[in-house]
Structure 1
């Protein structure tokens, strides 16, 4: 018996088996590499796409999302995956260290790395890692197959996925236990799981039987592990390299930015109508899907009964990637109804652990329907035509755009007269009677704080809904006209109270020459005015309020805390939270052009408002579209009667009135 702890490489293994494991291991590695190369070849068959290198940012993102599971740790399933993942990482590192110890240090330098205290720590860490992985696999199996109500795939495929991983770990423990039972080293206790099994095996087998069983199970464990390695690229386990690759090559441009169609008037085709028109990155997106279903869990369209299931859509595209078929992309593989059901809210993108950008892919296919076929859902063509003809989707007279400001003495931008803020009012607050109260409230706030501002007479729809509906041409015309008009005036910042206006002006107009402006949201400005003491809103009567996060501020522009700080700063406001809040808040249903489409499905706005009512009867919103959608839901269903929907600026303006009266 060794007097010092040292790793017993190939103990009880005949020479032919020792040579065999190297040969089979090499074959497994070659098969695995060939499979990975095949996948990469499939990705590279897509259209070219230049992505920024930004290696530091990409590696940091890979560490956060790929290794630290930043997007998964808030859910039970994510914690389970984290335990399995890191358990196998330690087991893999343990195997790699064993190779260095024996095949490198031993054969090349006649030295050993795994000996003494280092070996004892090594064995203890690997045993604990294996044990945690087994426990996590058991819990995962229980959640998937035993817990009712979980929307998880219950199939033999996933049963085998979990079982195969457990078999690899458990057979490893059996091999270790049989060796410890046969050798009985003094330091066996440092392998707690193996030691426990060795005590059991000592009661079951003779010394000769222990060695025979050890060799048999060594063959089983080794064969299982190497077969697993060989099959990684050809099975579900391919996500082990596909998901990290997709996270590394994730979209670094702003989340709220869609790709621009360059030289649009010279193009002969638009969007994606054939699978071969997808870029290599989109192909990688499809292949990197981990089938977790988190996208479907958060999709507002699916929850409302619309024919869009994000996971099913991606899986259909993934199947087409690996199994080419003579089927039409739009119609056979992906239904038109599913494409038009998307609100482009970004919830699927926010929830995806592999960082798939599904909204952009859906818009690409919409572009084909819109620009090549001229096909739109009912209601949308009229809004688009109005935007082209008179500059707003309502079809209202452009000359009446500033009618909301009558009696307020609102300054209009004049060439040669600089202001601090050019207030971008937007179409909703210009033409919709209910939303006009938002603009009037903002003017009251700006005047109370003594802010230098003006509005622009030539303002027209910025085209966000057109772009996300696939009608890029209408969007680009609107963008060029607005940019030209904005350059007539002198201002430091553009102020926008609508998240769609804010996102478009801030993140999409810079794609055009001269389109980069300093754009701030009304919540940023209001909070700054409150914190600097320039306004001190105070409600006369206490109000319990829940805030609904707009998709285009919370998810696309990472603004979650600012509106809450505003509410918390208003005396008399008691703020409560809804379970779905911040970046996980459900969409109101207006985005992606849905506000102008006719739909027979159960409305998203109704579902969201019913959920918000569980928290409070007064709902604060930060978007005129959310305001419109919720007011519409209340009008259409008496179940929601008695609720009060109010925009954030209206609460602040009311607080200024109440504070003035109290003063």
Structure 2
């Protein structure tokens, strides 16, 4: 039984002017559209899984946080909203969501409220708010579509294929035709509350101005209502076939992202028993990787933040993803093999070996596609099956294999940097608070040796019982990133065996690459000690907060901090270095900082490769840092130190100072101590 409403009560008109065939047809066609959409999604996911054989030599880790991560990414869209155009897209999503919600509420209002309970809940002020919100949501969608269209037409990097134009046009048509349908109804009824549909009211006034009679308006209304309904339902049915498939493909990509830590590469199990290595055929992509590739929306954010792109190298992360996705789609479609080799023909060696594995592309990607991991997998094929490496890197690899360091220097000289420091060398049977892993750079590079000496100064000032390991050798991280997994695993086994000889509470590193390797990758090997690994920035902060480095007085030198990629982006260590600098100096920060830092250009083996880039990224980064007006650059990585010092030499910059945070703290400790001694002497004389 229907409850009668007052004649002046605003209420949503259900199926106004729509004939019975239309009312029945919308449900029939609607169910068919939803069924087609679901079938298309399920079929696509099935093809993705069937065409992905994966790599049996590596294990795919399940991420227990995958669902939680995905829901957060979808609901809050933090990564999408990081840019101006990302906020425009967010407005489109929110507007589209309200339009969808409005349609769902209208269905419930009529089918449940009207037919089941005999009354409608979309009435009175609720209905008026409902109409106003939907009108505003439609405007937001149209504005976002217009901005996106103009941006794409002006861009020289974004693709402008017909499918993107069709995507913009189809959604705009659905919204505009909806406004037209509403305007025709308002032109006929002219209710007192029509101003709560501002866009619909404007359309209604236009129809009234045309002088069309009521019968004509009603006839056009039925026609447009039908076209609008069919267009909306066709949109739903074809989602899996169009660009708008990213509405479910991108969340699937996020869900299938590898588990944290992001700095860990998958280990090749039983490496000596494997017959093939890495990624050389598209069939070797796992289902997780295929889902990731399909999640790409071609926005180009990865290219915008890629240091290799800025340096003018052949690499463009989006191009890599698109090439692999195209090959995967060919496989899923059952197309014949065209004879092209994945590494060499489809993706060139120059593209692969231009990557610094800094993770900037993966960090910026709304679909969280792990492009560096795919690149390393292809590098593994080149390294382990073809013996292909970039110029210069082969020598560093040979040196590491023969004498345990990429410089090729005498392993017995590894501790020469501390000959005059009376270094405590770890001994079996003795327990240490900290085992200081020095790393190759601080052991052999003359400039980086100062960082090791500064760390020792800090440890002794804080009264930390520490030792270094005489058997230390290169952990092989750069080799792993270049694809030489065998050398990496050999180095890992040797170092892990040496760790077993000593007792210590923690391992301290002053290099983010050492930190990432020992904290995230070595633990996947049997025998690695179950102790925490700590970076030197975090450790120094702990000492300061515990009062063990009391008395540090900050100097007045304006210092800009450069975040290392492997510390900030891949491991999320951003607060500790800033706390340390707050205690020791006056820190400034460049535009690209924290997890959004710009790579110095050393990672992924690039430190050892001969590059001929139009403008090396280390020079680009130094120029960015100097824009802050700071005279001193603070770093927390010996590779960043080397690259920025090299940029200084190349550009003839003799004014900018580059210092590791450990050096800055050690200098302040020494100077503060000296100042206190002078004060004491002055008091004694007085």
TM-score bracket, normalised by the shorter chain, equals over 0.9
Q: Kindly indicate whether the alpha-carbon contact (under 8 Å) linking 1:172 and 1:221 is maintained by their aligned counterparts in 2.
A: yes
The RMSD of aligned alpha carbons is: 2.0
Distance 1:351 1:537 in 2: 40
Give the drift of 1:104: 4.7
Q: Kindly indicate whether the alpha-carbon contact (under 8 Å) linking 1:495 and 1:521 is maintained by their aligned counterparts in 2.
A: yes
Distance 1:383 1:610 in 2: 29
Aligned: 1:521 with 2:535: yes
Unaligned runs of 5+ in 2: 1-5, 332-336, 677-686
Give the drift of 1:409: 1.1
Give the drift of 1:550: 0.2
Aligned: 1:614 with 2:624: no
The aligned counterpart of 2:667 is 654
Partner-residue secondary structure (3-state), 2:559:
strand
Aligned: 1:547 with 2:561: yes
Aligned: 1:34 with 2:39: yes
Distance 2:638 2:247 in 1: 43
Partner-residue secondary structure (3-state), 2:14:
coil
Q: Kindly indicate whether the alpha-carbon contact (under 8 Å) linking 1:330 and 1:336 is maintained by their aligned counterparts in 2.
A: yes
Q: C-alpha offsets along residues 525-569 of structure 1, whole Å, 9 cap, x if unaligned?
A: 111222222224657963111111000011011111211111111
Q: C-alpha offsets along residues 372-391 of structure 1, whole Å, 9 cap, x if unaligned?
A: 11111111122112112211
Q: Kindly indicate whether the alpha-carbon contact (under 8 Å) linking 1:493 and 1:520 is maintained by their aligned counterparts in 2.
A: yes
Bigger Cα displacement from structure 2, 523-532 vs 346-355: 523-532
The aligned counterpart of 1:348 is 361
Give the drift of 1:629: 1.1
Bigger Cα displacement from structure 2, 574-583 vs 493-502: 574-583
Aligned: 1:242 with 2:254: no
What does 1:308-323 correspond to in 2, within 5 Å?
308-323=315-330
Q: Kindly indicate whether the alpha-carbon contact (under 8 Å) linking 1:173 and 1:194 is maintained by their aligned counterparts in 2.
A: yes
What does 1:6-25 correspond to in 2, within 5 Å?
6-25=11-30
The aligned counterpart of 2:422 is 409
Distance 1:53 1:391 in 2: 35
Aligned: 1:580 with 2:580: no
Aligned: 1:182 with 2:182: no
What does 1:454-493 correspond to in 2, within 5 Å?
454-493=467-506
Distance 1:230 1:385 in 2: 57
Distance 1:329 1:110 in 2: 64
Partner-residue secondary structure (3-state), 1:494:
strand
Aligned: 1:65 with 2:78: no
The aligned counterpart of 1:219 is 226
Give the drift of 1:109: 5.8
Q: C-alpha offsets along residues 224-282 of structure 1, whole Å, 9 cap, x if unaligned?
A: 21222222111211111100111122222211111011111111111111000000111
Partner-residue secondary structure (3-state), 1:345:
coil
TM-score by length of 2: 0.92
Distance 2:158 2:322 in 1: 15
Match of 1:400 among 389, 397, 413: 413
Aligned: 1:295 with 2:305: no
Partner-residue secondary structure (3-state), 2:558:
strand
Match of 1:85 among 72, 84, 93: 93
Q: C-alpha offsets along residues 424-465 of structure 1, whole Å, 9 cap, x if unaligned?
A: 000000011110000001001111111111111111111111
Partner-residue secondary structure (3-state), 1:542:
coil
Partner-residue secondary structure (3-state), 1:557:
coil
The aligned counterpart of 1:441 is 454
Aligned: 1:165 with 2:171: yes
Q: Kindly indicate whether the alpha-carbon contact (under 8 Å) linking 2:554 and 2:582 is maintained by their aligned counterparts in 1.
A: no
The aligned counterpart of 2:129 is 121
Distance 2:89 2:252 in 1: 18
TM-score by length of 1: 0.95
Aligned: 1:635 with 2:649: yes
What does 1:91-102 correspond to in 2, within 5 Å?
91-102=99-110
Q: C-alpha offsets along residues 497-534 of structure 1, whole Å, 9 cap, x if unaligned?
A: 10000111001111112324311111011112222222
Distance 1:59 1:199 in 2: 49
Give the drift of 1:218: 1.0
Give the drift of 1:591: 0.5
Q: Kindly indicate whether the alpha-carbon contact (under 8 Å) linking 2:281 and 2:342 is maintained by their aligned counterparts in 1.
A: yes
Q: Kindly indicate whether the alpha-carbon contact (under 8 Å) linking 2:63 and 2:258 is maintained by their aligned counterparts in 1.
A: no
Distance 1:630 1:50 in 2: 37
Give the drift of 1:156: 4.6
Bigger Cα displacement from structure 2, 211-220 vs 261-270: 211-220
Q: Kindly indicate whether the alpha-carbon contact (under 8 Å) linking 1:606 and 1:630 is maintained by their aligned counterparts in 2.
A: yes
Q: Kindly indicate whether the alpha-carbon contact (under 8 Å) linking 1:503 and 1:557 is maintained by their aligned counterparts in 2.
A: yes
Distance 1:641 1:151 in 2: 37
Q: Kindly indicate whether the alpha-carbon contact (under 8 Å) linking 1:546 and 1:612 is maintained by their aligned counterparts in 2.
A: yes
The aligned counterpart of 2:206 is 200
What does 1:418-433 correspond to in 2, within 5 Å?
418-433=431-446
Distance 1:537 1:168 in 2: 68
Partner-residue secondary structure (3-state), 2:79:
coil
Q: Kindly indicate whether the alpha-carbon contact (under 8 Å) linking 1:270 and 1:371 is maintained by their aligned counterparts in 2.
A: yes
Residues matched between the structures, number: 656
Q: C-alpha offsets along residues 60-98 of structure 1, whole Å, 9 cap, x if unaligned?
A: 322332232101222111100000001111111222222
Aligned: 1:135 with 2:143: yes
Aligned: 1:268 with 2:236: no
Distance 1:537 1:627 in 2: 27
The aligned counterpart of 2:680 is none
Bigger Cα displacement from structure 2, 256-265 vs 375-384: 375-384
The aligned counterpart of 1:375 is 388
Distance 2:245 2:327 in 1: 17
Closer, same or farther: CA 644–245 of 1 in aligned 2, 3 Å: same
Closer, same or farther: CA 47–23 of 1 in aligned 2, 3 Å: same
Closer, same or farther: CA 537–315 of 1 in aligned 2, 3 Å: farther
Q: Kindly indicate whether the alpha-carbon contact (under 8 Å) linking 2:555 and 2:668 is maintained by their aligned counterparts in 1.
A: no
Unaligned runs of 5+ in 1: none
Q: Kindly indicate whether the alpha-carbon contact (under 8 Å) linking 1:537 and 1:654 is maintained by their aligned counterparts in 2.
A: no
Distance 1:106 1:276 in 2: 54
The aligned counterpart of 1:625 is 639
Give the drift of 1:41: 2.1
Q: Kindly indicate whether the alpha-carbon contact (under 8 Å) linking 1:429 and 1:435 is maintained by their aligned counterparts in 2.
A: yes
Distance 1:293 1:318 in 2: 15
Distance 2:554 2:269 in 1: 54
Aligned: 1:597 with 2:604: no
Partner-residue secondary structure (3-state), 1:600:
coil
